[in-house]
Structure 1
């Protein structure tokens, strides 16, 4: 991809619906997530996690998916678009699930997201499109499970993010494989 890694789409939606609505721009708020989004907050916002312990920190403030995953799923017949899987940011030119835990993504004019872990594909995917959950899981060469449904992060530095914004990756000193969060 010429020009390096980029944000291609941004989305948000109040409430706890599965898909998110495409926006011209979103505002990231440090320590909270996407302004006006149903999953924004300093503590967990996902219903199942709130039921277990509402005081847990929200490590899932922002959901990012690679546009290349949409390409793969569309080629398999799923007919998906940006925001459909609940992501706030769709990217191109960056292998999100290969990043290290703690990697920092510098977006646009100054926003910074720290990657906290992998989104764990769940039954909601099959409710949206039958068979989608299995399509978002794979195996690597050693037979280990690969979760392809994107990464989650927290907002370290707020700012406005819009389609076309560049992404600069700041790797941590030591690589730590992403785990589900």
Structure 2
């Protein structure tokens, strides 16, 4: 746990659907179980609803504002925040920390070599447990780790999702990617990965799913009513 006297929200940003990047926001509305109202990552079935980043990373790597694509900019080292922990933002909002955000190659468009240098410092992804309005200056409280941890490794997250598939049901590749928090391009790697995991029958392409009982992923995260 961190020193609750130092944790504060410094700035906010919204990643609107079909937009080229993030735009500053005076406040954000967090929707329980969904994400940030109006943000393109708002999705009840995603572990990537909110991105929290550290102001120190911007200073250390000399990055332009919003280069990391965060919703909340914090005065904390997000690389030290642990999966399964719950943060309270202000008086009402509670976020469940899921896993560290991977460094994408597009970061190099802002400054060459950033993706290779940033490591775990891109930011931490979270789901919204309790909703409300977030403002710059809101205090952050660490409420401990009452919920299950998720891996930073996307392969381990895929395995975790597959283990939760009910008996007699399957997932489509697209739904598996969504639940595991990876881009749809990762679907190309699923057949080989599933085979190596011994889970080849648990997920199939969209066409192959016709006539099968497909799982919608409901209840996977186990944080319903956890607020």
For Structure 1 versus Structure 2, the TM-score category normalised by the shorter chain is: 0.7 to 0.9
Task: Name 1:85's counterpart in structure 2.
Answer: 68
Which structure would you say has the larger RCO, counting Cα contacts within 8 Å and 6 or more residues apart? 1
**8 Å Cα contact 2:15-2:69 kept in structure 1:** no
Q: Which has the higher strand share?
A: 1
Q: What SS does the aligned partner of 1:130 have?
A: coil
1:66 and 2:54 are equivalent in the alignment = yes
1:161 and 2:134 are equivalent in the alignment = yes
Task: Name 1:24's counterpart in structure 2.
Answer: 26
- Number of aligned residue pairs: give it: 152
For the aligned residue pairs, the C-alpha RMSD in angstroms reads: 2.2
CA spacing shift, 1:29–1:173, aligned 2, 3 Å: closer
How far off is 1:34 after superposition? 0.6
Q: What SS does the aligned partner of 2:122 have?
A: coil
- Counterparts of 1:84 and 1:127, CA distance in 2: 9
CA spacing shift, 1:16–1:128, aligned 2, 3 Å: farther
1:14 and 2:16 are equivalent in the alignment = yes
Name stretches of at least 5 consecutive residues in structure 1 with no aligned partner: 43-56, 138-146
Name stretches of at least 5 consecutive residues in structure 2 with no aligned partner: 154-180, 182-227
**8 Å Cα contact 2:29-2:133 kept in structure 1:** yes
Task: Name 1:170's counterpart in structure 2.
Answer: 143
Q: What SS does the aligned partner of 1:113 have?
A: strand
TM-score normalised by the chain length of structure 1? 0.76
Q: Which has the higher helix share?
A: 2
| Deviation by residue 1:78-137 (Cα, 9 ceiling, x = unmatched) | x422x2321000000x22221221111100121000000010001111133322212212
- Counterparts of 2:33 and 2:19, CA distance in 1: 22
- Counterparts of 1:167 and 1:119, CA distance in 2: 20
**8 Å Cα contact 1:123-1:133 kept in structure 2:** yes
- Counterparts of 2:140 and 2:8, CA distance in 1: 5
How far off is 1:151 after superposition? 0.3
- Counterparts of 1:177 and 1:13, CA distance in 2: 24
TM-score normalised by the chain length of structure 2? 0.61
- Counterparts of 1:13 and 1:22, CA distance in 2: 9
